[in-house]
Chain A
């Protein structure tokens, strides 16, 4: 608001803000584009109420008396892949991993930034290095190690996410710790705080904006991740992406009705999350892009 006012003040000669008929044309064009952007999701939603026989051939037709099946696709799909258990697993793994990653990597980043030694520099380098390594590079060996160490379960996978995901988080936290003045921490320690008290009372509150960014970036990654949980957990305990892919199955025919219904159920939590924390999500994603 303040910004646009400033712009107007600056541009007395000719305002850059489009007004009048030009503005209306632009608004109509952008509205059209927005609707176009939403069409794929709307089409999936509409088809989720149609009989599976009428989906692939005529996805752009509304359901009619013959093709409407009510909620049957939803109940069929839910039984077939256990989508509600999947939501539970996805939620459990995402929330626990994000909490663990945010706290433990913040602690790690603080000590490796504040302690100046060869060892901490090497650690920092290795964490940064891991960011440029694609998952395919470690996919096979990581799965092997996870099996050997009995980490191939929904609790063990949290440890794996901490390990594979720590690079970006430590890197971003370290960047922020460097910009925080050390004086307050030193004062706290002189006053008799232990490093643990200093961290939780002084340092972590200051890291909060970065922590929100890191929580959002990791949440989006882990919630949508398919390959790592598929290789580590298999199909016995499915997260949502695994459940959707499982519904596709081999090369046989797919139950398109159930597929549409399950896609809708997979999208709903994301839209709710997005609309409720939009501000943080957009900020976090942009900060992550600029720093990462």
Chain B
């Protein structure tokens, strides 16, 4: 079988491999190389060592974006996971209409980031104009909390479904035994349910972590970084550097490499975390 398959390998794999080289391998390698170059259009690149990186780290916009992104990620990971876990607990009580509720809570997840951004811009501006007389572009805090609300609205339903699956897998006997031993509902939650759904918790935390960290569309549509780039996250700052500042393409690419390294570290941590969980079980 190996022999026959090897003969047919090009028919099966060549189109995908070619597309993969064009759509990923080549741009990735060029991207690494260009982060050490000064260039305008790729073809006229000249090597300049670590200059792009030192420029990137001296760039106040980039540092602001980094701080803003980290803050946003921490707050959204905590809020989304707490709220979606609570919702999952309520939806596993077996009350009527659970399926309808699930359908509604999950739906925002399917709407694209650009559309989501403009929906929430209307709502948030409506509320802000009514109560404080300013719009979302006026104060960076409005943009920050606006993005948090938007992100929660989009992601809670998704995480809730993963938590529901986890909670449903907790054996009834365990809860039963705890009850017979006289455990209160709070103790059962703390000492039985939560430890039993830790793998769902790991999955959801890392999903929200990477989703929040890489956010772009929602950021572009809701605030576009305003006021004065104060609400621009890393992905938007990289975009602005590439396409908004002539002569800074190399710096944009260096920022992109830094961004990639941070995302890769988060992903590898996740891999280690899930692997070690598997061993424990």
Name A residues whose Cβ lies closer than 8 Å to a Cβ of B: 3-4, 6-7, 10-11, 13-14, 16-18, 23, 26-27, 29-31, 33-34, 37-41, 43-44, 47, 55-60, 104-105, 107-108, 110-112, 114-116, 123, 126-127, 130-134, 136-142, 144-145, 149, 151, 159-167, 170, 182, 185-186, 189, 194-196, 199, 220, 223-227, 240-241, 244-245, 248, 256, 259-260, 263, 266-267, 270-271, 273-275, 278, 281-282, 285-286, 289-290
Contacts and interface: CB of A to CB of B under 8 A. Distances in A.
Looking at chain B's contact residues, the main secondary structure is helix
Contacts of B235: 134, 136
B146 interface: no
A186 to B, nearest CB: 5
A30 B90 contact: yes
Given A59-B126, A126-B20, A141-B31, A13 B179 contact: yes
B116 to A, nearest CB: 9
Contacts of A131: 267
28 contacts: A6-B172, A26-B93, A34-B100, A59-B126, A126-B25, A136-B238, A136-B239, A138-B27, A139-B242, A141-B30, A141-B42, A142-B23, A159-B19, A163-B21, A163-B24, A165-B23, A195-B7, A196-B11, A223-B112, A224-B114, A224-B217, A225-B112, A226-B216, A240-B112, A241-B114, A241-B115, A266-B112, A274-B107
Contacts, number: 293
Interface of B: 1-2, 4-9, 11-13, 15-28, 30-31, 34, 41-42, 87, 90-91, 93-97, 100-115, 118-120, 122-123, 125-126, 129-130, 153, 158, 161-162, 165, 168, 172-173, 175-176, 179-180, 203, 207, 214, 216-217, 220-221, 234-235, 238-239, 242, 249, 252-253, 256-257, 259-260, 263-264, 267-268
A10 B216 CA distance: 48
B16 A108 contact: yes
Given A44-B122, A195-B8, A278-B103, A16 B93 contact: yes
Contacts of B107: 37, 271, 274
Contacts of A38: 104
B203 A289 contact: yes
Contacts of A290: 162, 203
A25 to B, nearest CB: 10
Nearest to B214: A134
A137 B257 contact: yes
B24 A170 contact: no
Contacts of B25: 126
Nearest to B105: A37
Contact of B111 (A105, A111, A136, A270): A270
B19 A137 contact: no
B2 A227 contact: no
B24 to A, nearest CB: 5
